[in-house]
A and B are shown apart, each in its own frame.
Chain A
Amino acid sequence: MIVRMRFGKLGKVRWTSHRDVARMWERALRRAKLPVAYTGGFSPRARLSFGLALPTGCESVAEYLDVALEAELEPALVAERVCPLLPRGIGVLGAGEPEPGSGSLQEEVTSCTWEISVVRSTRSELDEVLSRLMGAASLPVLRERKGHVVSDDLRPSLLALFAQHTHDELGTTLVAELGTRPRGVRPAELAELLDIELGLARRTCQWIERGGSKFEPLDVLPAVPAVAVERAS
């Protein structure tokens, strides 16, 4: 069976990479003695599949992974057993089973919502630059790929941008919904387009849009009320 878990990455641990997080999960699942399925061959690996990579340095409350198990287990029980064994700052927020027949997280997710702190700009400066961006017909950026300089248009991936005042440590935040096709846009690239200084970025949702409806990869939330993400610092 496949168990899908939603987890968060907050605090200092955000400086670890996507690969580092994958290794943390492998070790935690082994420590939890869960019946994780392994690949065969000379180099057996746990059958885990992660969704879109989170850029190093970004926080998230909407990361997902699928774990293949060799036995049938209640997803909530899996989450309960593994969560305390994860490093500080990584915590399970929900667990369930993906719909039968659904594809991999990487294929299915069509957009992500981000909350990004705005370091110096005022609310009105921010509103102005946001409307300029959303009004543009195209937003080309130059990127080097395989030794060639290519121009990517980021405009199609900017699905929504608005400013929001919050009372938590983020202060004024920019809320962005960024599409994954034709290519994903990272918060750092958004800052480059906006030409303003952005601070801490946190992914708050991943979305799957299919047949006119939009939903999250896991609809049973929260399945594990007892565990929450603890801030590392």
Chain B
Amino acid sequence: MAQVTKPARYIGGELGACEPLHEPGRVAWLLIYPDTYEIGLPNQGLQILYEILNEREDALAERAYAPWTDMERAMRSAGIPLFSLETTRPAAEFDVLAFNLSAELTYTNVLNLIDLAGLAVRSKERTGDAPLVVAGGHCAFNPEPLADFIDAFVLGDGEEVVGEISEVLLDRVADHPRGRHELLRALARLDGVYVPALYEARYDGTSLVGVVPRSRDVPERVEKRAIGDLGEWPFPKQQLVPLVEVVHDRLNVEVFRGCTRGCRFCQAGMITRPVRERPASQVDEMVRAGLARTGYDEVALTSLSSADFSGIEHAVSSVINDPQCSGQVSVSLPSLRVDAFTVGIAAEIQKVRRTGLTFAPEGGTWRMRQVMNKLIREEDLYSAVDSAFAQGWRRVKLYFLIGLPTETDEDVLGIAELARRCADIGHRYHHNVTLTTSVGGFVPKPHTPFQWFGQDTIEELRRKVGMLRDALRGARGVSLRWHGAEATAAEGIVSRGDRRVGAVVEHVWRAGGTFQEWSEHFDLGLWTAGLEAAGLSLEDSVYRHREQHEVLPWDHLSAGLHRDFLWQDFSEALHEHVLEDCRWTPCYDCGVCTGLPVEHVVASSVPPAGGSQGTGQDVSVGGLMPVHFVHKEHRDMAVSAAGGAEDPVARRSLGSGPRARTTSGARSMGIVDTCASGGGA
């Protein structure tokens, strides 16, 4: 231990950790996050299941995380297998190894951890009493790249199904010797469970033509699970408090699940529908009890867009004004909407500890934001930034994606223009401001309207970033950050890959490519060599636009969304048509509420102040630039463009004007890099 970096990540001992008793009649789960302890520990999904399983009489759960490379070397050379944190029990002694799949580039770690547990990595080579290997999480919505290695995937919310899996496994323990195959068939009968070995991937030449059941007793299509009422699942009640510093080191209270803002690039928003809010009184109670129990001085109200929570003002003010918190507890809202109202809340809650403020306009021009349905008007952004600087912030961060459908160079340069202007606003209030502009390349994700879209090539992404760098040269106060185009391409291989990509993942792992999420370990050469060995190419698997009727590798799996709806929404996107948030406007039938036995649970009957994605907004003027925000020399231009000095809102050329683009999804679109989750700060 003295030889490894940060040894405390291997000792457990967190407040809230259980040391369960292993005994007959209890199915032993090892919940594994396939990245480092510091990244994995805060994962709320894993912690929720950890508690639910340990509360059950017929199950128990422990945890494991990926040991860093130095620790792994030490373990392998001493013959120590992957072990649980709580009771240092070898992984192979558990009944189930359950992986959380939050990011595609962790897949090589998944294989490595199965191997470190002492099991065969390929599921068909695991026999008899070998633990069952299961996986869930957002990436499970396209499980095909891991189909050869994982015995069963869970789609959607795991709260209920972990109990059902435990019951099936307990039966197995009881009437031994039910074979492994029988067990898999029993699991496949559970709603939301996909057992890839029971499905055959069929090809016509090199094209996938279907993933079909091998026998009649398994469903042709697996629907995701969704809990109806978040209020029935007030977890985690005993959030783990680590001994060492981790990311998001604070109390987290989930205020709602799901999102209907309808950002077309965002997989998280699509696959977690419908919106299910937690009752405000329960949020209060979870915050109060959580702070008292953990001693944290920060609480995050988490969701995909927390400012939309019906009870947000109440929730925030009750923490801030609680005498028990006595001014020392800060609240954070990890995904901020972009408007002045949100900044108002942020000012209220960050009275205590004011760090930076982050907004995610995602697109540099109003036109681009209409395409992606991220309906932040120029006016909203500038007034948000203005009020942030006016209220004392000096550091503002903006997130953008490049490589989106229909993107032109003008759209990319719009990012630079927007960043410069925001910095100008800041300079009216402060001598020094930092405007961090973070740019990621877009990776199209399954079950989203952009799932058909061909990703930008590495070269194209680099060109666009170079263009931005040139445009921002000398811009005072603006700093440009950029995620590597190579990692974006690798993520693209896996994101929409079919079963053949499993060989690529295995190749990268066997060549030593673990921790591919970490720039110091990432190696595109391993991925391209793997593609070549598997007879695949970046061109075909990443850059190619999919055809409208082409079979997609996840067509046999459902997040509740109609494929027709997704295609329709993609077509609308290409025409710059926007789609309103359905929480407060009539249903447009995406399929989730009508197809699944759940529906929206939203306390407020009116949209939040400031509007939401078209509801309560006048989107026809979204590209208009408020004249008082325009810099002096820009102002003259703006005024002349508007054709009259008396007009309070001057038309800028940003979101209008002719441009070359196609409307059918053909290739003249640029693309680039990564980041299709959350949309949040």
* A19 at the binding interface (Cβ < 8 Å): yes
* Neighbouring A residues of B324 by C-beta, 8 Å: 33
Cβ-neighbour of A15 out of B8, B241, B353 (below 8 A): B8
Q: A20-B245, A23-B245, A38-B328 are in contact. Are A57 and B13 (CB under 8 A)?
A: no
For A233, give the chain B residue with the smallest CB separation: B11
Are B327's CB and A57's CB within 8 A?
no
- A44: chain B residues at CB < 8 Å are 327-328, 352-353
B430 at the interface (CB under 8 A from A): no
Do residues A57 and B1 form an inter-chain contact, with CB atoms below 8 A?
yes
B8 near A28 with CB under 8 A, answer no
Which residues of chain A in 1-58 are interfacial with respect to chain B, using CB atoms and an 8 Å cutoff? 12-13, 15-17, 19-20, 23-24, 26-31, 33, 38, 42-44, 56-57
The bracket for how many chain A residues form the interface is: 20 to 34
Which residues 364-398 of B sit at the A interface, judged by CB distance below 8 A?
none
Q: Which of A82-90, A121-129, A170-178, A209-217 contacts B (4 or more CB under 8 A)?
A: A82-90
CB distance from B413 to the nearest CB of A (A): 36
Q: Are B354 and A42 in contact, CB atoms less than 8 angstroms apart? A: yes
Contact status A85-B354, CB under 8 Å: no
In the complex, which of the residues B11, B241, B353 contacts A13, with contact meaning CB atoms closer than 8 Å?
Answer: B11
A27 x B295 contact (CB < 8 A): yes
Residues on B with beta carbons closer than 8 Å to the beta carbon of A77? none
Q: B2 → chain A, closest Cβ, in Å?
A: 5
The residue of chain A having its C-beta at the shortest distance from the C-beta of B326 within the complex is: A38
Judge if B292 is at the interface, Cβ distance under 8 Å: yes
Q: How far apart sit A28 and B293, CA to CA, in the bound complex (Å)? A: 9
Contacts of B292 in A (CB 8 A): 31
Is A194 in contact with chain B by the CB < 8 A criterion?
no
- What are the interface flags for A134-171 relative to B under an 8 Å C-beta threshold, 1 for contact and 0 otherwise? 00000000000000000000000000000000000000
What is the 8 Å Cβ interface bit string for chain A, positions 83-118, against chain B (1 contact, 0 not)?
001011100000000000000000000000000000
**In the complex, which residues of chain B have a beta carbon less than 8 angstroms from the beta carbon of A13?**
8, 11, 13, 243
Query: From residue B4, how far is it (CB to closest CB) to chain A in Å?
Result: 9
A232 to B292, CA, bound (A): 24
A12→B13 contact, CB < 8 A = yes
**Main secondary structure on B side of the interface with A:** loop
Q: Digit string of B484-522 for contact with A (CB within 8 Å is 1, else 0)?
A: 000000000000000000000000000000000000000
B294 touches A27 (CB 8 A): yes
The residue on B at minimum CB distance from A21 is: B243
CA distance A33 to B324 in the complex (A): 8
A15/B327 in contact, CB under 8 A = no
Q: Which B residues are in CB contact (< 8 Å) with A42?
A: 352-354
* Interface hub of A15, A57, A89 (most chain B Cβ within 10 A): A15
A161 CA to B241 CA in the complex, in Å? 40
Contact with A along B1-20 (1 / 0, CB 8 A): 11000011011110100000
Q: Which residue of B lies closest to A58 (CB)?
A: B2
Distance from A12 Cβ to chain B, minimum over Cβ atoms (Å): 4
Report the minimal beta-carbon distance from A166 to chain B, rounded to whole angstroms. 21
Instruction: Tell me which of A17, A20, A43, A85 contacts B295 (CB under 8 A).
Output: A85
Chain A residue, CB-CB nearest to B291: A30
| Contact yes or no, A26 B11, CB < 8 A | no
Hey, which chain A residues are within 8 Å of B243, CB to CB? 13, 16, 20, 24, 87
Pair B13/A87 contact, Cβ less than 8 Å: yes
- Cβ < 8 Å to B, chain A residues 187-233: 232
- Identify which of A27, A38, A88 contacts B296 (C-beta below 8 A): A27
CA distance A99 to B31 in the complex (A): 51
Residues of B within 8 A of A17 (CB): 8, 244
The answer to whether A15 and B297 touch (CB under 8 A), given A20-B243, A87-B15, A89-B13, is no
B429-475 contacts to A, CB under 8 A, are none
**Which residues of B are found within 8 Å of A26, using beta-carbon distances?**
295, 297
B353 touches A31 (CB 8 A): no
CB pair B2 A28 closer than 8 Å: no
Residue of B nearest to A86 (CB): B15
Closest CB-CB distance, B75 to chain A, in whole Å? 16
Top 6 A-B pairs, shortest CB-CB distance = A27-B295, A31-B295, A15-B7, A30-B295, A16-B8, A12-B11
Given A15-B1, A24-B243, A87-B15, 4 more A-B residue pairs with CB atoms under 8 Å apart are A16-B11, A17-B244, A87-B13, A89-B13
Interfacial residues, chain B to chain A (CB-CB below 8 A): 1-2, 7-8, 10-13, 15, 241, 243-245, 292-297, 324, 327-328, 352-354
Q: List residues of chain A with CB under 8 Å of any chain B CB.
A: 12-13, 15-17, 19-20, 23-24, 26-31, 33, 38, 42-44, 56-57, 85, 87-89, 232
